A = this chain, B = another copy of it.
Amino acid sequence: LVKNRKIVLVSRPIGWPSLENFRMEEEEIPPLSRGQVLVHHRFLSLDPYMRGRMNDGKGYAPPQPLGQVMLGGTAGEVVASRCAAFSEGDTVVGMGGWQEFSVVDGELPGQLRKVDTGLLPLSAYLGVAGMPGITAWYGVRRILTPRSGTTVVVSTAAGAVGSVAGQLARLAGARVVGIAGSPEKCAYVIKELGFDACINHRAHPDAFSLARALADACPDGIDGDFENVGGIILDAVLLRANPFARIALCGMIAGYNGEPIPLATPQLLLLNRMKLEGFLISEHLDLWPEALAELTQLVASGQLRYRETIAEGLDNAPAAFLGLLRGENFGKQLVRI
């Protein structure tokens, strides 16, 4: 029998979560049944959507059950298999959760996906060539459809999703302006990711101040907004939006801990005949193969760059997750297990 360590949710946060909401548990893994695969996780993905799952009540997915292992994307290695489709040594990604091992029904389609670590490092399949990258791809390609001569704004520009969204918009020929949470992140976004400009939103106390900075950075206005934050960032973007501007509404992290995030001037959506679309990438699984193929090729050819922040050890996952919510990560936040 193999010992597994896992982190479970023990209580639901009111407002900001804390370490006390989580607990490490140990268990023995029973022998595999027919069709099952045992995966040893090497990396756990930490993502903002997890905060929503910690709440009870209405969400776009069922709440994370109390007392059960926290859900999450994982990349690892098959260490035992009773399923013909997977062999020991295969590198795979799946939704293994915050734990060292997972037992997966290998016969169920979509549960595990083999990835080629000869092409990209294993961890990249949780970020730039994984769910966050596909999220960026969908918002840019299917909603914003940027082209030369247009301007796209991307919030959380140094993050896992924003960094890809901005680079994809730039590859499509648009002027791309990032919004990020520190001067260091802005420097990275401009120098390493190639954005045309980046604004440190923490230097702006309100939407009007941020809108003035956007006016400088977007002399021709804003045609597309890849929105990950909401609150005064979205307010400011609306103040500079052009007619027919589009908003890919991917996240509103400004409100994930219960903060009120009213939209100050929704009439600008009408005045500028805008389109806004909220989306959830797990509802567009049909597009994943196309998106993944393109993202993998762009990374492998050096056209798409990324960075990772890696916490060491499963024990550090809760603290790393809290740091992610505070914006302490640079690029994709992972935990090495």
**Which residues does A use to contact B, with CB under 8 Å?**
58-60, 230, 234, 243, 249-252, 255, 260-267, 269-280, 283
On chain B, the residues within 8 Å of A273 by CB distance are: 60, 277-280, 283
CA distance A263 to B271 in the complex (A): 15
Are A243 and B60 neighbours in the complex by a CB distance under 8 Å?
A: yes
CA distance A280 to B230 in the complex (A): 26
On chain B, the residues within 8 Å of A255 by CB distance are: 267
CA distance A252 to B59 in the complex (A): 28
A215 shortest CB reach to chain B, Å: 13
Are B275 and A266 neighbours in the complex by a CB distance under 8 Å?
A: no
A258 shortest CB reach to chain B, Å: 10
Are A267 and B261 neighbours in the complex by a CB distance under 8 Å?
A: yes
On chain B, the residues within 8 Å of A265 by CB distance are: 262
Known: A60-B273, A251-B270, A272-B278. 11 other contacts (CB 8 A): A60-B271, A230-B270, A252-B267, A262-B263, A262-B265, A263-B263, A271-B278, A273-B280, A274-B276, A275-B275, A275-B276
Are A278 and B274 neighbours in the complex by a CB distance under 8 Å?
A: yes
Are B272 and A266 neighbours in the complex by a CB distance under 8 Å?
A: no
Residue of A243, A249, A251, A266 with highest tally of chain B CB at under 10 A:
A266
6 smallest CB-CB distances across A and B, nearest first, come from A263-B263, A270-B278, A262-B262, A263-B266, A276-B276, A273-B278
On chain B, the residues within 8 Å of A275 by CB distance are: 275-278
On chain B, the residues within 8 Å of A263 by CB distance are: 262-263, 266
Residue of A60, A262, A280 with highest tally of chain B CB at under 10 A:
A262
Q: For residue A272, which residue of chain B has the nearest CB?
A: B278
Are A272 and B230 neighbours in the complex by a CB distance under 8 Å?
A: no
On chain B, the residues within 8 Å of A250 by CB distance are: 270
A122 shortest CB reach to chain B, Å: 31
Choose one: B262, B267, B272, B276; the contact of A264 (CB below 8 Å).
B262
Are B249 and A270 neighbours in the complex by a CB distance under 8 Å?
A: yes
Choose one: B60, B252, B270, B271; the contact of A266 (CB below 8 Å).
B252
CA distance A260 to B263 in the complex (A): 11
Are B280 and A252 neighbours in the complex by a CB distance under 8 Å?
A: no
On chain B, the residues within 8 Å of A283 by CB distance are: 273
Q: For residue A143, which residue of chain B has the nearest CB?
A: B275
CA distance A260 to B268 in the complex (A): 12
Are A230 and B262 neighbours in the complex by a CB distance under 8 Å?
A: no
